[in-house]
Amino acid sequence: MLKTAFLSRVAFLCNVCLVLAWLLRYLPAIEYGTVVSTIIVAGLVLSFIVNGLVNILYAWLLVRRRPLRQYVPVWLAVVNFLFLIVQIYLIVQ
């Protein structure tokens, strides 16, 4: 399950891009270019998809009674879950 740790890290990076994309709305002093567009796409599109899939994978591991800390650090799973709650709020809002 080495892929679980990799996907968890990718989800975390996409979630960081979500925060940066949210900050870009309020800090327009940054010049738009390829880096900014990558942050926006990773934050506003990929973070919802990847984080949702990772949390489904976490739930699947917990249903199968596998210890989650064996595959990913606990802090990473908690942070990804908290971002999922924020993302659900953003979708419903």
pLDDT at 39: 92
Q: How far apart are CA 54 and CA 85, in angstroms?
A: 13
pLDDT at 43: 94
Percentages of the chain per state (helix, strand, coil), in multiples of 5: 85, 0, 15
Listed in sequence order, the residues at least 6 apart from 36 whose beta carbon sits closer than 8 Å to its beta carbon are: 24, 30
- Which tokens in the block code for residue 27? 């800090």
pLDDT at 42: 94
Q: How far apart are CA 59 and CA 21, in angstroms?
A: 28
pLDDT digits (tens, 9 = 90+) for 15-65: 999 999 999 888 876 778 888 899 999 999 999 999 999 999 999 999 999
